[in-house]
Amino acid sequence: MPSFDIVSEVNLSEVDNAIANVMREISVRYDFKGSKSTVENKEGVISVFADDDLKLKQMHEILRGQLHKRGIEPGQLDYQKIEPAAGQSVRQNILVKEGIDKELAKKIVKDIKSSKMKVQVAIQGDTLRVTGKKRDDLQAVIQFVKDMGLELPTQYKNFRE
């Protein structure tokens, strides 16, 4: 029986490449001259340190642009609370979301089942396995999930006949 998996994955090496580009851009920009602003990635958590709120917002724009160039959607980033650091400087952590959480998985399964498509959907950890008798049914499910307008970007992998 044909099947495929619905997943939400991020290539962390692309995140590292984007952060390296952000640091390179910050080092040559005139408005960041003499600034101690930095961006670093530790196991899926991006730490942004800026001299003030304005520089933090500018760094967010640069980071979003670089991540978008690398194929990482803004919906895969979870911005945490801005924390004050020494003086006027601020710090913020940004989590890189991977996998589909249980609440969203249940919502997707419920919506697919209510659409009366002839497929079975199973939650397997942080992925969803969709099986059906016909390839056309599976392609209809892919289009249905794309049209749901989910905040979290999804990929469709492991398509088997």
Q: Where in the chain is the domain with CATH 3.30.70.990?
A: 12-96
If pLDDT is split at 50, 70 and 90, which confidence band does 121 have? confident
Residues 12-96: name the CATH superfamily: YajQ-like, domain 2 (3.30.70.990)
Query: Phi first, then psi: what are they for 10, rounded to 5°?
Result: -130, 135
**Do residues 117 and 130 make contact, with C-beta atoms less than 8 angstroms apart?**
no
Question: Which uninterrupted H or E stretch holds 39?
Answer: strand 38-42
Coil, helix or strand for 113? helix
User: For 42-65, what is the mean pLDDT?
Assistant: 89
pLDDT of amino acid 21: 92
**Where are the CATH 3.30.70.860 domain residues in the chain?**
3-8+99-160
Contact predicate 15/41, CB 8 Å: yes
pLDDT, average across residues 111-122: 85
Confidence label for 37 from pLDDT (cuts 50, 70 and 90): confident
* Pairwise CA distance, residues 64 & 72, whole Å: 9
| Rounded Cα–Cα distance for residues 17 and 145 (Å) | 30
What's the mean pLDDT in 126-151? Answer: 86
Count of beta carbons in the 10 Å neighbourhood of residue 153: 15
CATH architecture of the domain with range 3-8+99-160: 2-Layer Sandwich (3.30)
